[in-house]
Chains A and B, each alone.
Chain A
Amino acid sequence: MAPSATHQVLLSPAELSYLHTSLSLTPPVRPDLRTANQFRPLVAETNILPGTNGSARICFADGTEAIVGVKAEVEKSRSSYHSYDELDTAGDVDEDDNEGEMGLNEWVELTVEIPGFRDDDPMPVFLAAMLSEALVADVQFARRLYINRRFHWKLYLDILLLSQPLSYPLPLLSLTTHLALLSTRLPKLKSEADEDPLFDDDWEESVFLYPRAPRGAHQRPPVTLLVMAVKDNIIFDPCKEELAVAEAVLAVSVGERVAGDAKEGSMEIDPGKGRRDVRVLAVRTIDPPSRLTHPGIPNTQNTATGGAAPATMEQAANQRETTEEEGVWQPPRGGAQRKLIALMIQRLLEPGGVAEEVLDGLDAVELG
């Protein structure tokens, strides 16, 4: 179970009910009048920290802001797979042979810092786990950090939320991390094969962790997006108030496959249309904060409006379970239906869907 993302929502049951109702309309009416697929505008810049290998800052319109710095260090690989006598300094290592061992999860260390939280609080830990999970789910990622059979890069991602966590900060942190990784550069390797690595001291010569292809269709790190549902309405990029009434919340990590990369298994998607080949890397359900809200009390149970209050707590709970009264807030119960989850993911991935829009938007950010 995910820990509560935001502080307790300070909305009355009536307000919650109002929000819920307007979000359940077709089309939904969102508090900030966005359409269901519309994202909030954001301000982004990269390479803001000169001392890092890559960095980015994103500022959402609601005032939340995050910066991410990426530092890389050369680290000796564990030698359990190779003994020294098979060490080959002469060159021609067949790299495909040891593909499986070429990347390991501990090559990335990710820390999330959120004001007001200790670093061992469940929220930062959970967010960090979610972000790194998406990152390493991409097999290609660890391979990028491979130097040779004895050495690899270790990445340290420091994710820092500058503002209060007004809304669930996952998308913000993910997008910022994404940009930071895109702008990350590693010193250019000069040595060959399994020698101790030696690097060019010219920073201008350094290479991007995610190399840029000339036509823009370059590989990129994953993005984790937040999708929520109210009744049958699927809403993207929810704000704090919307989350407070969400019935199901999903964190979906998507990655993009470059056309050249998709050799097999790409039958279902026709590659020829210049569409992005977006695929899901990880999905997590997030326990919406709406579950912790207090229920509204219907008039029938309210003594102030002439109703009869239930005698015991138990009774009250039982009665609430059965009432489906319009305008009375009931915290959502139970999980989301499979069909709904499938739909949420589909809406994200479909051609011209939200994922594409987000990736297009990120492409527009100038990488320094």
Chain B
Amino acid sequence: MTSLKRSLGPDPYASNVSSKVYVRSTRSGKVQKIVRELYLRQDIPCSSQLCRSCLATAPRDASGILVPFVLSAQPAGTKTYPQGHYIVPDTNALLNALDAFEQTSAFYDVIILQTVLEELRNRSLPLYNRLVGLTKSEEKRFYVFFNDFRLETYVVRENGESINDRNDRAVRKAVEWYARHLTQAVKAAGGKVKKVPAVVMISDDKENLIKAKKDGIDACSLQEYVNGLENADQLLDMVSAAKEWRETQHAKVAENLYQEYFSVSKMMTGVKNGTLHQGIFNVSPYNYLEGSIHVPAFDKSLLILGRESINRAVQGDVVVVEVLPKDQWKEPSTKIIEEETMNKDENADAEEGEAVITEKERRALQEEVKKVHSKSTEGRPQPTARVVGVVKRNWRQYVGHIDESSVSQTAKQSRKQQTVFLIPMDKRIPKIRVRTRQAGEIMGKRVLVTIDSWDRDSRYPAGHFVRSLGEMETKGAETEALLLEYDVQYRPFPKAVLDCLPKEGHEWIVPPSMDDPGWRGRRDLRGLQICSIDPVGCQDIDDALHARPLPNGNYEVGVHIADVSHFVKPNNAMDTEASIRGTTVYLVDKRIDMLPMLLGTDLCSLKPYVERYAFSALWEITPNADIVKSEFTKSVIKSREAFSYEQAQIRVDDPSQKDELTNAMRTLMMLSKKFKQKRMDAGALSLSSPEVRVEMESETSDPIDVKTKKHLDTMSLVEEFMLLANTSVAAKIYEAFPQTAMLRRHGAPPKTNFEELANQLKVKRGIDLRVSSSKELADSLDRCIDPKEPFFNTLVRIMATRCMMSAEYFCSGTQAYPEFRHYGLASEIYTHFTSPIRRYADLVAHRQLAAAIDYEPLDASVRSKGKLEAVCKNINVRHRNAQQAGRASIEYYVGQALKGRVVEEEGYAMKVFSNGFVVFVPRFGIESLIRLRDLAEPEPESAFDAENYILTTSGSRDVKVELFDKVVVRISDVKEESTGKRKVKFELVKVVGSK
């Protein structure tokens, strides 16, 4: 028997066709072999402006337009490459130093190979996205060269060659080709060979560099390259510490401080069959050694106590945990543990004898264990868990400042590289070990760093320095820090977005001719007496109102909302940008707009005396505030006046004002009160959160005073009608699009959220807090009155608010109808419709309403459930961030306003721990902690009665603080060491008590 192997025949196209084979595992557990055919081409341009041959063959689009060539004809030179050079980084170089590549001082004319780009995507998606962003920016001249599709640079994987080796070889081959190609191009153009720019491969892989040398390719390591640049120190700091770190660690025999993570498959199997749990890791803001994780399997969160159990997880990471045996269950701590007090004088460079748990920490933990034991009858230990693996790191860039004690005095001046600790502003993030040459320079500044890695043998994560934001406590640096911390997009709008604005700019007017397409389907409401009521100085006026009596004794009331959807069409660059920003962010001295200024403060804004497009909701309402009929229409309006709340209030209260506008406002006021009463009867909550306003000096805009906001009736006037509009629109769009309506819900808080507060009220005041429905809660909150203490009710409301769930946007198809309820407003269905200038959700609601009234067809993007869900998810996050950024901004300015002042104020004990208590001062709307050690020196002895919430101290100072006690505190400002924030510091003057 004979057999032959038939060889593949002489295929004329064989050299142009190749294939790529890999294994794909799908989510459902299928494993597939995937073969992709590659068709190699020769017309992929090198994109150098020196080259003419590529220009001739480069593919053009359907209209014959060529993508302009990116790489400069005269690239910058360095000492080693005076003739100029193009940079070709490999994957490691980008992984380690993308921050450096983003700098504007160096790294121009960079060729990103497809091989590298794809490898980067597999290694780190966030870095990949940043790199793609870089390649799109024109000024940096980054060019993606599809080397795996070009015949000359395509590399076939050899037998037994690993993928990494193959990719390295592909990079070298591409570099080689580029060098040859450019020489030819220059020669063909008659240039001198000396003038040909060098093509330099940058790699951090030693072997790759050696091989490159052998092949005669220009190559150097990242460090070498950066050293040849001007601001080498600054750039070198941006190179990830991870690699160097590992090298130094290997020199010593490193001791592993943390347990190794489980393998991915082990975690996934565990999660699937329920022995392990996956969730997002959260650190307690009071105790950096206590984390919690909410997993779908349990109602209550699992506790993660101690550094060892936390096992290198960082706030926000998606982790997998294992529940610890029952004898290790504990109660959540009643103690405040802050990192800076625990591990004050550590040397960042010292590695020896570093235990994960310092003695002090261990002692703190022991005390807690003791307490659990002593109270075994009463205390309910909570299940604890241990992190066994990280599914996804959610590391971002962190703002913080250098721990001065970690910088050695001698090194302050020198440029020697040293390791310092960076203390992040966010207390939940551990200290980050950063290697830098600029320790002296960046001390006392707000700096931005990223975490690169956290190895088992290192107690703290290692990171690298990105850039400095400026001196601490300067307005610019602090504001930018805030925006970065809360991930607020604050860069100016890109050109693509501005291109979407109407060409007329500020000259744009409502077309005078009613035949204009802009008038199609619009009702002419210019004759109505419409006015707007907003806070002082408001520029982006979203809403305006009118009311007029009807002949039948009823009233016609109209809410007119800026017609933003007329200007922002779905799926253009502006819409995309707005959907990413999600909301306008209000800081004390700054507004970060969701939409460009032109729209927000002019074209959309319902300014007085000019005609504007609007989206109107009109109702016929009886004098008893029953709605007879409602309709929605696009319209053109002309606002008669823009009032501030105060002005409007004065006008309504002034009986001498008898004009039509004031009467309309009085009608609205009368109706709004009735609406409010109805809502309250239905069980709407009136909750409270401390709100203050920072008064600024008008010229320097330095804060001078803090005022609590005063509530005016006109505010609830506007609020009631906005609620009315939102609720009616929600019902309308849900009726039209039951699957895809953009709605807002507020879940009923689980009972357990109120347990603590209910217990506190019962023990301290004998008040029963009933929480089974919002109506009951509202009623029992009304009963929380202390006759001697008028503020007590507000205090309880503030505390109750913190027990609530947060409201969220959702797409109606994802929830069942009963889940639509808005708990706080006691409304069955709700959405946001009234502020499209500053919220993206409203814009979506506008589009859906416009489609529901057959004004325009519904765009696909607001019709797809999946897309809407993604939008909701994003804007929920943005919304929360914006709120937090706003609050943080107020907090900062309150601190600044109090700077250098000492004030004595009344406050209330809001929370009592075993070693301190939290005091809330309503005058400034701030709360702060008073620790035992702040009371007196030395720290007084203390006894904590956890059942009755009483903390008694003795020894150096005798104090008895109970929960809800009125206290007098001396407020001064102090710069907080841990976060570098200027914060108010409270000192206890006396306990007034309240009983």
Interface, chain A (partner B; CB < 8 A): 38-45, 50-53, 72-74, 84, 87, 89, 187, 190-192, 194-204, 206, 237, 357-358, 361-362, 364-366
- In the bound complex, CA of A77 to CA of B974 (Å): 66
- In the bound complex, CA of A214 to CA of B6 (Å): 24
In the complex, which of the residues A42, A187, A202 contacts B1, with contact meaning CB atoms closer than 8 Å? Answer: A42
Residues of B within 8 A of A53 (CB): 33
Give the residues from 1 to 47 in chain B that come closer than 8 angstroms, CB to CB, to chain A.
1-6, 19, 21-25, 29-31, 33, 35
Residues of B within 8 A of A50 (CB): 19, 21, 35
Task: Specify the chain B residue showing the minimal Cβ separation from A38.
Answer: B1
Complex A-B: 16 CB contacts under 8 Å: A41-B4, A45-B5, A87-B273, A190-B263, A191-B263, A192-B265, A197-B29, A197-B31, A198-B25, A199-B25, A201-B22, A201-B23, A203-B23, A204-B157, A204-B161, A206-B23
- In the bound complex, CA of A38 to CA of B3 (Å): 13
Asked if A198 meets B265 with Cβ closer than 8 Å, knowing A74-B30, A89-B270, the reply is yes
The 3 closest A-B pairs by CB, nearest first: A191-B265, A39-B1, A198-B265
Q: Is the CB of B163 within 8 A of A202?
A: yes
Q: Is the CB of B4 within 8 A of A43?
A: yes
Q: Is the CB of B269 within 8 A of A44?
A: no
Q: Is the CB of A192 within 8 A of B263?
A: yes
Q: Is the CB of B21 within 8 A of A203?
A: yes
Residues of A within 8 A of B273 (CB): 84, 87
Task: Specify the chain B residue showing the minimal Cβ separation from A201.
Answer: B23
- CB B889 to nearest CB in A, in angstroms, measures 46
Determine whether B266 belongs to the interface, using a CB cutoff of 8 Å to chain A. Answer: yes
- CB A353 to nearest CB in B, in angstroms, measures 13
- Pick the most buried of A45, A195, A237: most chain B CB atoms within 10 A of its CB: A195
- CB B345 to nearest CB in A, in angstroms, measures 42
- CB A108 to nearest CB in B, in angstroms, measures 17
Q: Is the CB of A89 within 8 A of B266?
A: yes
Residues of B within 8 A of A206 (CB): 23
Q: Is the CB of B269 within 8 A of A365?
A: no
Q: Is the CB of A196 within 8 A of B163?
A: no
Determine whether B497 belongs to the interface, using a CB cutoff of 8 Å to chain A. Answer: no
Q: Is the CB of B264 within 8 A of A198?
A: yes
In the complex, which of the residues A38, A39, A51, A74 contacts B33, with contact meaning CB atoms closer than 8 Å? Answer: A51
- In the bound complex, CA of A130 to CA of B129 (Å): 56
- In the bound complex, CA of A366 to CA of B35 (Å): 22
Q: Is the CB of B4 within 8 A of A44?
A: yes
- In the bound complex, CA of A65 to CA of B275 (Å): 53
Give the residues from 30 to 79 in chain B that come closer than 8 angstroms, CB to CB, to chain A.
30-31, 33, 35
Determine whether B268 belongs to the interface, using a CB cutoff of 8 Å to chain A. Answer: yes
Residues of B within 8 A of A203 (CB): 21-23, 33
- In the bound complex, CA of A197 to CA of B28 (Å): 12
In the complex, which of the residues B5, B19, B23, B33 contacts A365, with contact meaning CB atoms closer than 8 Å? Answer: B5
Determine whether B272 belongs to the interface, using a CB cutoff of 8 Å to chain A. Answer: yes
- In the bound complex, CA of A358 to CA of B25 (Å): 38
Residues of A within 8 A of B275 (CB): 89
- In the bound complex, CA of A364 to CA of B1 (Å): 10
- CB B731 to nearest CB in A, in angstroms, measures 46
- In the bound complex, CA of A89 to CA of B35 (Å): 33
Q: Is the CB of B5 within 8 A of A44?
A: yes
- A-B Cβ contacts below 8 A, count: 100
- In the bound complex, CA of A95 to CA of B35 (Å): 34
Asked if A196 meets B269 with Cβ closer than 8 Å, knowing A187-B31, A202-B23, the reply is yes
Asked if A361 meets B268 with Cβ closer than 8 Å, knowing A51-B35, A202-B22, A202-B163, the reply is no
Chain B, interface residues (CB within 8 Å), range: 20 to 34
Residues of A within 8 A of B19 (CB): 50
Q: Is the CB of B33 within 8 A of A366?
A: no
Q: Is the CB of B21 within 8 A of A362?
A: no
Q: Is the CB of A45 within 8 A of B6?
A: yes
Q: Is the CB of B3 within 8 A of A364?
A: yes
- Pick the most buried of A44, A45, A204: most chain B CB atoms within 10 A of its CB: A204
Q: Is the CB of B29 within 8 A of A196?
A: yes
- Pick the most buried of B35, B163, B264, B265: most chain A CB atoms within 10 A of its CB: B265
- CB B5 to nearest CB in A, in angstroms, measures 4
- In the bound complex, CA of A50 to CA of B8 (Å): 13
Q: Is the CB of B24 within 8 A of A74?
A: no
Residues of B within 8 A of A42 (CB): 1-3
Residues of A within 8 A of B265 (CB): 190-192, 195-198
Q: Is the CB of B1 within 8 A of A361?
A: yes
- In the bound complex, CA of A37 to CA of B528 (Å): 107
Q: Is the CB of A41 within 8 A of B2?
A: yes
In the complex, which of the residues A190, A196, A201, A362 contacts B3, with contact meaning CB atoms closer than 8 Å? Answer: A362
Residues of B within 8 A of A44 (CB): 3-6
- In the bound complex, CA of A190 to CA of B264 (Å): 10
In the complex, which of the residues B23, B163, B269 contacts A89, with contact meaning CB atoms closer than 8 Å? Answer: B269
Q: Is the CB of B6 within 8 A of A43?
A: yes
Given contacts A44-B3, A201-B25, 17 further A-B contacts (CB under 8 A): A41-B4, A43-B6, A50-B19, A74-B30, A187-B31, A190-B265, A191-B265, A191-B269, A195-B266, A195-B268, A196-B29, A197-B29, A203-B22, A204-B161, A206-B23, A357-B1, A366-B5
Residues of A within 8 A of B31 (CB): 72-74, 187, 197, 199
- In the bound complex, CA of A366 to CA of B263 (Å): 38
- CB A73 to nearest CB in B, in angstroms, measures 7
- In the bound complex, CA of A198 to CA of B161 (Å): 22
Residues of B within 8 A of A38 (CB): 1
Residues of A within 8 A of B1 (CB): 38-42, 237, 357-358, 361
- In the bound complex, CA of A190 to CA of B267 (Å): 13
In the complex, which of the residues B6, B30, B161, B270 contacts A73, with contact meaning CB atoms closer than 8 Å? Answer: B30
In the complex, which of the residues B4, B24, B263 contacts A201, with contact meaning CB atoms closer than 8 Å? Answer: B24
- In the bound complex, CA of A50 to CA of B264 (Å): 29
- CB B921 to nearest CB in A, in angstroms, measures 54
Q: Is the CB of A195 within 8 A of B269?
A: yes
Residues of B within 8 A of A357 (CB): 1
- CB B583 to nearest CB in A, in angstroms, measures 40
Asked if A187 meets B263 with Cβ closer than 8 Å, knowing A44-B5, A199-B31, the reply is no
Q: Is the CB of A196 within 8 A of B23?
A: no
- CB B547 to nearest CB in A, in angstroms, measures 64
Residues of A within 8 A of B21 (CB): 50, 203
- In the bound complex, CA of A201 to CA of B119 (Å): 13
Q: Is the CB of A52 within 8 A of B23?
A: no
Residues of A within 8 A of B272 (CB): 196
Give the residues from 238 to 268 in chain B that come closer than 8 angstroms, CB to CB, to chain A.
263-266, 268
Residues of B within 8 A of A366 (CB): 5
- Pick the most buried of B19, B31, B264: most chain A CB atoms within 10 A of its CB: B31
Q: Is the CB of B29 within 8 A of A74?
A: yes
Residues of A within 8 A of B264 (CB): 191, 198
Residues of B within 8 A of A40 (CB): 1
In the complex, which of the residues B2, B33, B268 contacts A187, with contact meaning CB atoms closer than 8 Å? Answer: B33
- In the bound complex, CA of A200 to CA of B263 (Å): 13
Q: Is the CB of B23 within 8 A of A200?
A: yes
Q: Is the CB of A195 within 8 A of B263?
A: yes
Residues of B within 8 A of A204 (CB): 157, 161, 163
- In the bound complex, CA of A42 to CA of B25 (Å): 38
